[in-house]
Structure formats: C-alpha cells, structure tokens
Copies of this chain bind each other. A is one copy, B any other.
C-alpha cells in the first residue's frame, strides 16, 4: 500500500495518544491534531502541551474542532471514558469520518461507542493494543475489528502502524486484548504471590528455577493444552493440592488470594463430575475439555 497523507485526530493525548502522535509525525504524517480534556487545565496540562509541541501535533480545544481537523480519529482515552468521549463527537462527525476506539475495554463498551456514534453516519471500528505503546510507540500491535477496521488498516499501515484486522464484528479486537489479560495480568498476580511465598519460605530461587525448567521445555501452547486436557480428570486432586499451597501461604502470614481462587476454580471443575463423562481418560483435544466444562456450567446456570 502506498503512503497517503491523511488527516489524523487523536482523542486523548496520554501515553498511548502521544506515543502514536510522536511516532507517526516522525514517519512523515503531516496533519495530526489531538484533543485532550486535560490539555489546557489540570495537573497534566503542561506535560501534554510539551509533548504535543515537541512532536509537532496540533492541540485543538474542542471535539468540534478535532472533527473539522481530521478524517481518521483514534480514541485513546481510558476505557472507563470511551463511551463519554464518543458521545462528545456524535454531533460533529459525518459519514466521511472513520472513528476507531483502541482503549482497553470490553466488547460491550465498544458496542456502546458505536451506538453513540450511529446517528453521525461515521464508520466505527475498535482495537485492542497488544504490548506496550511506551516501548513500541506507533508500531505497537493493534488487533482491529468492526466495520471501520479495513479503512483504518489501509490508511495507517503504510505509516508503519501494525494493524491486524481480525474480524468484521465490532468488539472482537478489544475482546482479544481484554480476555488475553485474564492470563497476562493473572500471571503477574500469580508470580507475585508465588515470589512472596518463596521468599518467606526461603526457597525463592529453587521455586522459579523448577517452574522455568518445566515451562521452557516445551512451547507455551503445549502447557496450555496439557493443563486443560488433564483438568477435567485431575481437578479434584489438584484442588486439594492448591488448598495445601494456600495453607503454605497462610503459614507465613500471606493471604493466598490467587491460590484460594485456584483451589475454588479447580474444585468447581471437580464438582462437574466430568471424570465420569470421560471415563477417567484424558481427552485428546483441549477444546473438547473446555467445551465439556462450558456445557455443564451452562446447564447448571439453567437449573
């Protein structure tokens, strides 16, 4: 695809917005405007103005001005502000606009963004940022979806943004990001709980060495498959072991927040009695195991 100068607007000029603005200006994109509610008053106004001036990004003073200055608009506000931000643009956008919300938020938030903008006729898309915009700037990988995703991709990929269009369904890209975080943020919490317990038990190096020896011996997906396939058979025994792990944390005065939830989650699987359904045999495919758990959970909900 050829580089085509477009008029870009950034809603929110925090870490993500300024990372995009700075990087895209360096790539040679000329017209970048930004609107941030904290740009002219509040504790971060000086920082925002400085960042914009250094990058060569024009700060505008209202959503109406941003809509006039830009055809492609990327919203990079906190997810809790996504819908409010979108509402401020409803009366200023038209069918010539492409509006893509890349905040970390649930698919339903993105659907409410689209609903808010529907009267304007603008094309709406959403995206989930995979990785760190602080490290990678405008080159951070974005999983994009929704009606506007292809246009977003075509206009900005030539400027070295990494946009992966995953689905025409609005919210899918954001969903990948936010569901991925179940594991990514969950691991952070697990590692911390494990590190604190290891430290207090005086075995920090040994514990992580042992975990890494297992994890580095195979591709990560093999571990995912192994644990999910065996989960439906061995959940009860593992729930008991997780309970003892929690006891080991209690013994050194640490509240086993993650580990008690682990025991509860595994016990909940044990209580579904899938071991009987599978005749005590580990299923060949992890999806078979997950679907079996899901079916029983849904059945339990309906009861």
Contacts and interface: CB of A to CB of B under 8 A. Distances in A.
Contact of A200 (B187, B224, B294): B294
Nearest to A253: B301
Nearest to A201: B175
Given A187-B223, A223-B187, A248 B198 contact: no
Contact of A248 (B179, B193, B211, B214): B179
B185 A262 contact: yes
A259 B294 CA distance: 17
Given A107-B201, A301-B253, A188 B227 contact: yes
A269 B214 CA distance: 28
A301 B176 CA distance: 38
Interface string A235-256: 0001011101101110101101
A195 B232 CA distance: 13
Contacts of A198: 179
Interface string A175-190: 1101111111111111
Interface stretch (A19-27, A41-49, A202-210): A202-210
Interface string A153-179: 000000000000011010010011011
A68 interface: no
- How many copies of this chain? 2
A194 B203 CA distance: 30
Contacts of A241: 79, 104, 178, 181, 185
A139 to B, nearest CB: 15
Contact of A210 (B106, B130, B191, B251): B130
A105 interface: yes
A108 interface: yes
Contacts of A90: none
A207 B180 contact: yes
B262 A211 contact: no
A182 B204 contact: no
Interface of A: 78-80, 104-109, 130-131, 143, 166-167, 169, 172, 175-176, 178-204, 206-208, 210-212, 214-216, 219-221, 223-224, 227-228, 231, 238, 240-242, 244-245, 247-249, 251, 253-254, 256-266, 268-269, 286-287, 290-291, 293-294, 297-298, 301
Q: Report the 9 A-B pairs with minimum CB-CB distance, sorted nearest first.
A: A189-B265, A215-B220, A261-B261, A182-B194, A186-B190, A188-B227, A106-B248, A185-B242, A189-B262
Given A79-B244, A182-B259, 9 more contacts: A130-B210, A130-B214, A179-B248, A181-B242, A182-B197, A185-B238, A186-B258, A193-B265, A211-B220
